[in-house]
Amino acid sequence: MRIGILFGGACEEHPVSVKSAKEVAKHLDTEKHEVFWIGITQSGAWRLCDGPEPEWEGRPVVLSLDSGFRGLLVLDEGRYEEIGLDVVLPVLHGKLGEDGAVQGLLELSGIPYVGCDVQSSALCMDKSLTYLVAAGAGVATPTFATVLAHEDVDPGRFTYPVFVKPARSGSSFGVSKVSGADELRSAVEIARQYDSKVLIEEAVAGHEIGCAVLGNDADLVVGEVDQVALSHGFFRIHQESEPESGSENATFIVPAEIPARSRALVQETAKVVYRALGCRGLSRVDMFLKDDGTVVLNEVNTLPGLTSYSRYPRMMAAAGLPLGEVIDRLVALAGTVR
């Protein structure tokens, strides 16, 4: 297989994507596959390079949108060199990576690709839309309200504490926990630095639980359920200065220390959410497990982190699927959806 791997990206999650790509490079079987690395700089330039480094150099490259040729066009001394591809693996996070933008480009290119399609990516990126679809499938979600660009918010209408989030952003960039009405407007402005649409949702009391899902349609594999154990504050993924050495306020327990019945419910709920949103390939479904045993959806990550410290590969490894095997399965699945 000739695999094009996209990494980097013109968004705040660029450094995380590079780390994910480095981990993929360690586990990808280069005897099975011929790999072409396409790094996207923070300014949005595409470069064919030797691999995922924090700073890379390479030749300018674009995807061919001509259905007669599926692959890369590499600019070399005023001429284009053609490199055919069998599949593209986007190792991208956040805006322009898992929101449907690059998926649309890949649809136009005609090249099979790993992960969710345009519609599913866009739905999962917008947390308010995620909640609406999940609720329609019978899954519990937090009570929430949206605040659009230039729209004022009435702090008196909410019961505190609440979480204020960019509706369409990755990780926990721009997220605030608001304990009182006097903090709400400033939290909304912080969230607006990342998205013009802001979500205000109730703070759900319960354990933060995650479930990794792999597969297409009815044939799904779920990883071991994990649990986020907090010492203080709230979980802020990828916000630490040195996440490889651990989070400043959270540890991850795999498998989660929950009853077997709750574990089964979390895994089944993750599959219901995955199918309702039209996910394919892979996703990480994050939920809350309340003290009464009920499960409430938090969010869905359609291209979850694959770094050495990320949750998705840990959950799959605990279920007996190391990252190398996960990658092989994802590449094989990409070729079955077109």
pLDDT per residue over 215-226, tens digit each? Answer: 998 889 999 999
HSE of 115 in the Cβ direction (CA atoms, 13 Å)?
30
Q: What separation in angstroms does the CA of 234 have from each of 161, 166, 288, 291, 305?
A: 12, 16, 13, 18, 19
How do the domains of the chain map onto residue ranges? 2-113, 122-140+205-334, 144-202
Q: Which two tokens stand for residue 170?
A: 């990755």
pLDDT for 140 beyond 70 = yes
pLDDT for 164 beyond 90 = yes
Q: Tell me the average pLDDT across 71-89.
A: 93
CATH topology of domain 2-113: Rossmann fold (3.40.50)
Strands 207-216 and 176-178: unpaired
Cβ contacts of residue 186 below 8 Å, gap of 6+?
Answer: none
Answer yes or no: are the C-beta atoms of 178 and 160 closer than 8 Å: yes
Cβ contacts of residue 172 below 8 Å, gap of 6+?
Answer: 235, 236, 237, 238, 239
Is the domain defined by 122-140+205-334 classed in CATH 3.30.470.20?
yes
User: Rounded mean pLDDT of the chain?
Assistant: 92
Burial class, 157, CB count within 10 angstroms (exposed 0-12 / middle 13-18 / buried 19+): exposed
Q: What is the pLDDT of residue 337?
A: 56
Answer yes or no: are the C-beta atoms of 306 and 282 closer than 8 Å: no
Q: Which two tokens stand for residue 141?
A: 């979600």
Q: What is the pLDDT of residue 54?
A: 67
Q: What is the pLDDT of residue 230?
A: 77
Percent of the chain whose predicted confidence (pLDDT) is above 70: 93
Q: What is the pLDDT of residue 186?
A: 96
Cβ contacts of residue 83 below 8 Å, gap of 6+?
Answer: 2, 36, 48, 71, 72, 73, 74
Q: In the chain, what is the straight-line distance between the N-terminal and C-terminal CA atoms, in Å?
A: 16
Q: What is the pLDDT of residue 73?
A: 96
pLDDT for 232 beyond 60 = no
pLDDT for 153 beyond 70 = yes
Cβ contacts of residue 122 below 8 Å, gap of 6+?
Answer: 99, 100, 129
pLDDT for 167 beyond 70 = yes
Three-state secondary structure call for residue 179? coil
CA-based radius of gyration for the chain: 20
C-alpha 116/C-alpha 221 separation (Å) is 16
Tell whether the torsion through CA atoms of 220, 322, 305 and 61 is positive or negative: negative
C-alpha 102/C-alpha 170 separation (Å) is 15
Q: Give, to the nearest 10 degrees, the angle between helix 127-136 and helix 260-276.
A: 110
Per-position DSSP letters for 234-300, written without gaps between them: ---TT-SS-GGG--SSEEEESS-SS-HHHHHHHHHHHHHHHHHTT--EEEEEEEEE-TTS-EEEEEE
pLDDT digits (tens, 9 = 90+) for 39-68: 999 999 999 999 997 678 899 999 999 878
pLDDT digits (tens, 9 = 90+) for 256-265: 999 999 999 9
CATH architecture group of domain 144-202: 2-Layer Sandwich (3.30)
Q: What is the pLDDT of residue 241?
A: 56
Q: What is the pLDDT of residue 47?
A: 96
Answer yes or no: are the C-beta atoms of 287 and 262 closer than 8 Å: no
Q: Evaluate if pTM is beyond 0.95.
A: no
Q: Tell me the average pLDDT across 321-325.
A: 97
pLDDT digits (tens, 9 = 90+) for 104-130: 999 999 999 999 999 999 999 999 999
Q: Do domains 2-113 and 122-140+205-334 have the same CATH topology?
A: no
Residue 116, phi then psi, degrees to nearest 5:
-65, 155
Name the residue with higher pLDDT: 55 or 338: 55
Q: Which residues are catalytic?
A: 16, 19, 93, 238, 244, 284, 305, 309
C-alpha 156/C-alpha 159 separation (Å) is 8
Name the residue with higher pLDDT: 246 or 188: 188
pLDDT for 170 beyond 80 = no
Q: What is the pLDDT of residue 229?
A: 87
